[in-house]
Structure 1
């Protein structure tokens, strides 16, 4: 990728105009920024979701890929960048949106390769060398991630590689949320109750001392799983253990690792181990990707 320049379930809308999905995506952006600063060694990172993916209060006029507001910050010392509205084509981030590829400047305020609408905010934070990477999901820019230094210096391959890696991880998370929404929209609303009942039955089954009754409950769960229309459990099916399915079933309902541990009578570390194993078997990079893959494989309703 060439660098341009000089160097669970949907929730209702909250009072601030955000939905459960929007809050989840904002958390994905924060996680990507934290990973970016850790992997590339740059002290400052910030970014936000574009257009319709941004919270209602943070959208720029026009929606779509028109622009975004900087909503997530790591390592900043002022509030100068928070809420800053970036238009497509303007400044460094706007250029990254317009070109749909990474761009960077060695000295922001002296650069002749970008426009300078946002110089005051950048100067207030004391930033000089800045990198911006767009997050492109199915040919649409869905977010922009920045990393920066407070001194003019050429950003090398390490910074670019780390930024692109963080953007790709965020891309997978956003794509998984898209897939989950499509699966949810394709099913009747009552199907969510079926999924809730399935998760509850699997949890109850492990609390039943009667082996025969436990087997009957798990058999009922298997019937619900087979009714989802996923890939039949034949040759080549993903071989998840019963406990891995239990964990994914709880995760699919939005439960945290601590909540899953409490429901299943396990330690949080054990839940994490089951989840990592299931993700590896399913070829998933995130919890949500694992749930989507399990449903497609007929392992969850």
Structure 2
């Protein structure tokens, strides 16, 4: 059960990788961006922006092979100013790379727990070094993707752990449900602490999926109720039994601000107490 829930919860890491490439394309002055995930030590190229051919699509690159395999294996960024003449890489992929017209390439690994989980590339069709601005953009993209994958891994780990506990103790799902609620609240707290807007939105989207996992198969019609992210953040922690002061500490808010968000949420949910607000939010599928 836990593996099924994890698979339903976790979106494709490739989708997050593609989103980071798009974000990089919006600010980096570079014509070609691409990348892929590292699985069992092999880099699989799957996401492309600005390419003209399909030569690179689906390439499976073993460790230390080409620029990407080298970067994934050594776990540090590297670049070549002219791919065709570089003496620092193998040339197993000259045909698809040069067929695309690529000359100068930068590759940056996405590291999670010290392991390469993906590689991001920036490339141009002239034999000129990749600029510092583009390099900075790609490194920041790799860091954001690293954080997101690490959080997804932790969510999966906790769900799997809770599934094992549930099976061993015969709790009929209670341990998993309570654990999901705890992870949901923590995930919303992490999202609030992240300054990057797109990553914050994706983390909140994952928390919404958690809520739907525990909600009834047919949640009540919400009647137009719409809670703000902050109101949901506060309610998620209230649902764990936290006091206003504890919620304030967890979310880095003032106690009066927490009270304000709680009052607002209660009003929208037509609830007269904290408990009623949590129950109503769960019935509407807004909380797990």
TM-score, length of structure 2 as denominator length: 0.62
Q: Which residue of 2 aligns with 1:269?
A: none
Distance (whole Å) between structure 2 residues aligned to residue 102 and residue 48 of structure 1: 15
Q: Which residue of 2 aligns with 1:36?
A: 24
Alpha-carbon distance, 1:172 to partner:
1.0
Alpha-carbon distance, 1:12 to partner:
7.9
Of 220, 245, 249, the residue aligned with 1:234 is: 245
TM-score, length of structure 1 as denominator length: 0.59
The 8 Å contact of residues 40 and 162 in structure 1, kept in 2 or not, is answered as yes
1:154 lines up with 2:129 in the alignment: yes
Kindly provide the CA deviation profile for residues 122-154 of structure 1, in whole angstroms up to 9, marking residues without a partner as x.
011110111100000111110001110011111
1:48 lines up with 2:54 in the alignment: no
Alpha-carbon distance, 1:48 to partner:
0.7
- 1:73 partner SS: strand
> Cα–Cα, structure 1 residues 222 and 92, in superposed 2: closer, same or farther, change >3 Å?
closer
Distance (whole Å) between structure 1 residues aligned to residue 85 and residue 224 of structure 2: 70
1:24 lines up with 2:35 in the alignment: no
Of 220, 230, 239, the residue aligned with 1:225 is: 239
The 8 Å contact of residues 131 and 146 in structure 1, kept in 2 or not, is answered as yes
Alpha-carbon distance, 1:88 to partner:
1.1
Kindly provide the CA deviation profile for residues 26-56 of structure 1, in whole angstroms up to 9, marking residues without a partner as x.
10010111122222211111111111xxxxx
> Cα–Cα, structure 1 residues 207 and 141, in superposed 2: closer, same or farther, change >3 Å?
same
The 8 Å contact of residues 63 and 69 in structure 2, kept in 1 or not, is answered as yes
> Cα–Cα, structure 1 residues 185 and 158, in superposed 2: closer, same or farther, change >3 Å?
same
> Cα–Cα, structure 1 residues 187 and 233, in superposed 2: closer, same or farther, change >3 Å?
farther
Q: Which residue of 2 aligns with 1:274?
A: none
Q: Which residue of 1 aligns with 2:190?
A: none
Kindly provide the CA deviation profile for residues 263-291 of structure 1, in whole angstroms up to 9, marking residues without a partner as x.
79xxxxxxxxxxxxxxxxxxxxxxxxxxx
1:167 lines up with 2:142 in the alignment: yes
Name stretches of at least 5 consecutive residues in structure 2 with no aligned partner: 167-172, 182-210, 226-231, 267-283
1:106 lines up with 2:117 in the alignment: no
Kindly provide the CA deviation profile for residues 244-278 of structure 1, in whole angstroms up to 9, marking residues without a partner as x.
89xxxxxxxxxxxxxxxxx79xxxxxxxxxxxxxx
**What RMSD, in angstroms, separates the aligned Cα atoms of the two structures?**
3.8
Distance (whole Å) between structure 2 residues aligned to residue 35 and residue 196 of structure 1: 28
- 1:50 partner SS: strand
Matches within 5 A, 1:17-96: 20=8, 23-51=11-39, 63=40, 66-96=41-71
Number of aligned residue pairs: give it.
210
Name stretches of at least 5 consecutive residues in structure 1 with no aligned partner: 1-8, 14-18, 52-62, 210-217, 246-262, 265-298
